[in-house]
Amino acid sequence: MKADGQDLDKPADYKPTDDRPAADARAHPAQPDTRSFPSRVWAVIARVERAINPNYPGLIVAWIFFLWAVSPSLLPRTWLFEGLVCGISAAIGYGVGCVLAWAFEKWVQPRLPDSAEGLAKLWNPSETTRAVGKVVILVGTIVGAALVLARSARWQRDLETLMGMEPTTTSSYLRAELLAAATLALVIAAYRVVRWLIRLIVRLLNIDWHIPRGLAYPGAVVVVAVLAVLLFQGVLAKAFFATANSAFSLRNGTTSESVIQPQLPERSGSPQSLAGWDTLGSEGRWFVATAPTAERIAQVTGKPAREPIRVYAGLDSAKEPEDIAALVVRELDRTRAFDRKVLVVVTTTGTGWVDSTTASSIEYMYGGDSAIAATQYSYLPSVLSFLSDREKATESGRLVIRAVHERWAQLPPEHRPKLLVYGESLGSQGSEGAFSGLDDIRSMVDGVLWVGPPNSNRIWSQIEQRRDVGTPEILPIYADGLIVRFAATAPDLARPARQWTDPRVVYLQHASDPIVWWSPDLLFTQPDWLKEPRGADVSKSIRWWPIVTFWQISADLANAQGVPSGHGHRYGDLVLDGWVAVAQPADWNPGLDAAVRKALDEDITWEYAHK
């Protein structure tokens, strides 16, 4: 069997026909097809096989990669994502198989000793054996794919049961095979276009420019590779992000019908504010307009309350990032935020989004005697911001936190509010950028809450790598929990049962959150979290496979929020537990805790209905 694919051999009783039109249909009437039914079927298969010209070693390795890809991942996958993941994985496997077959024919087979003659014959079998083998591979891959997808549907149902979701059906999941086949075919077609282009350039260099073929071929490969890099990383990437930025900047100008401009001076965007209402962006306007009022807070807590302060600066509120940070400080001064009990600096995600539960939790906990400051650094959603301008998130977090800290440090210690820092997802990476390490955190702020941190977070990665021996990566213990603690549930915050000094740092991370565990290292390195016992909401059947696991977790990123609270990237009121651990007010008690949780549920239900 040759590595570049061969035509399917014809059976002995196959009789070719002349398909050319007769010069005179009356003189040469059409002859009936006297071939047997199996021969006609074989002819159709041969015609299809010649059209697609598959590489059979490539198909075998693609099948292995497909088997790996259907295994469970962190989150349940719809048939659409399953098809894409399996198709991309199979395409990678197909390429690996083609390379292995080519290498065997070029370097191994010619050097086989006479004693390995049987192996050489196995690689170049008879025509009949070759034909039968091709049919077995083609039919086996199609039928086998359906069988393993049925098993995969069971794995998905197990995951959905763990997360309290509606189980998927096997029949609907089988559609993934068609999508995987289409994805594989598309990738192979793209490769063949590139191969044709390389051969065209080789002929140009060899025939027209008289460059020896030994130099023309690598030269053509270099030319095509450079063009591809320039096209995808230059023209296409820039065009994509420019288009996305333009599209989302239009969305940034929209305002929900449920949002009206605040009139209270404690809010940015109000008539008294230094940051104009129209400059805050869509997420900023939602943030400042939907804060719980003093009346609402008093109703929930049963105690007198103050109007909470919410300060926000959008991309259009000032020209430069430094100006935005300075504007935030001026807004904090204008609203007298430094006179409150607690001041929280939030580094937002992508479009400037602030989690409502996070903000409201602090405001209910402190009876409105609070101030929250946030800024926008991008028009793009968090995923696109992560790919294109992570530096903006880090720069924004560093500038704003440093500016607020500088103003805060000017106050007498006895008159300073408790200074806290918060970031979720890419926002946690942004606010981490304001600190050089734990010592810097302890000297600057009174507490930190980081939720769903990306795997590329610098401080998070350092702590994970230096975790106490014997503690798992999904819930590590660092330095006996003296400063930093990790939690997936509220009881985890009590691990270990030893002293926890102030200021405290908390990371909330679910074992099933792909944003936490996604990393390019997954391509070729098995992470510790897949060597150690799995998390409570992670399938026990999940395994690491080279390359494939990377694509599986990458697909999970798109569905990180599409699962119930308590799983994936949905942290719900666990952020309240995080705030209580970091900055519990003196009058906090179980009754108040229950009342606040009920209020948070009501608020989030209203938000889902109106945003």
What is the predicted pLDDT for the residue at 241?
54
Enumerate residues 6+ apart whose C-beta is below 8 A from 193: none
In the prediction, which pLDDT does 248 show? 54
Confidence of residue 263 (pLDDT cuts 50, 70, 90): very high
What is the rounded distance in angstroms from the CA atom of residue 207 to the CA atom of residue 194? 20
Kindly tell me the burial class for residue 162, based on how many C-beta atoms sit within 10 Å of its own C-beta (0-12, 13-18, 19 or more).
Answer: middle
pLDDT > 70: percent of the chain: 83
Nearest to 74 by CA among 63, 87, 89, 85: 85
Query: Measured in whole angstroms, how far is the alpha carbon of residue 546 from the centre of its chain?
Result: 18
Task: Please tell me the predicted confidence (pLDDT) of residue 136.
Answer: 81
Flag whether pLDDT at 434 surpasses 50: yes
Q: pLDDT at position 403, please? A: 97
Decide if 298 contacts 592 (C-beta within 8 A): no
Cα–Cα dist 457/223, whole Å: 37
Per-residue burial over 452-484, b if 16 or more Cβ lie within 10 Å, else e, is bbbbebebbeebbeebeeebbbbbbbbeebebb
Q: How confident is the model at residue 3 (pLDDT cuts 50, 70, 90)?
A: very low
Q: Spell out the domain ranges in the chain.
A: 37-210, 265-510+571-610
**Counting Cβ atoms within 10 Å, is residue 577 exposed (0-12), middle (13-18) or buried (19+)?**
buried
What is the rounded average pLDDT of the residues 307-312? 98
pLDDT of residue 408: 98
Is-contact 348 424, C-beta < 8 A?
no
Q: Which residue(s) pair with 420 in the sheet?
A: 344, 447
Contact 518, 552 (CB under 8 A): no
The pLDDT tens digits for 338-354 are 999 999 999 998 788 99
pLDDT digits (tens, 9 = 90+) for 378-399: 876 666 655 556 778 889 999 9
For 455-503, write each residue's pLDDT tens digit: 999 999 999 999 999 999 999 999 999 999 999 999 999 999 999 999 9
Q: Which residues contact residue 337 at a Cβ distance below 8 angstroms, ignoring those fewer than 6 apart?
A: 309, 311, 331, 343, 371, 373, 417
Would you say 547 and 92 are in contact if contact means Cβ atoms under 8 Å apart? yes
Mean pLDDT of the chain: 86
Cis peptide before 503 (omega within 30 of 0): yes
Q: What is the pTM of this model?
A: 0.82
Quickly list DSSP for 460-496. HHHHHHTPPTT--SSS-B-GGGSSEEEESSGGGGG-S
Spell out the CATH class of 265-510+571-610. alpha beta
Residue type, 226: V
What percent of the chain has a predicted confidence (pLDDT) above 90? Answer: 54
Is the pLDDT at 360 greater than 60, yes or no? Answer: yes
Give the Cα separation of 359 and 250 in Å (integer): 26
pLDDT at 16: 47
Judged against a pLDDT cut of 90, whether residue 229 lies above it is answered with: no
Instruction: Evaluate the CA torsion angle 200, 205, 206, 207 in order and state its sign.
Output: positive
- The owner of tokens 């050089």 is 436
pLDDT greater than 60 at residue 24: no
The set of residues, in sequence order, having a beta carbon less than 8 Å from that of 441 and lying 6+ positions away, is 421, 435, 448, 503, 505
Contact 81, 558 (CB under 8 A): yes
Over range 419-430, report the average pLDDT. Answer: 94
Block residue for tokens 């192996």: 119
* pLDDT per residue as tens digits for the range 277-292: 999 999 999 999 999 9
pLDDT digits 0-9 by tens, 61-91: 998 999 899 999 999 988 888 888 899 999 9
Residue 185 has pLDDT above 70, yes or no: yes
Token digits of residue 384: 């696109």
pLDDT, tens digit, 9 for 90 and up, residues 494-529: 999 999 999 999 999 999 999 999 999 999 999 999
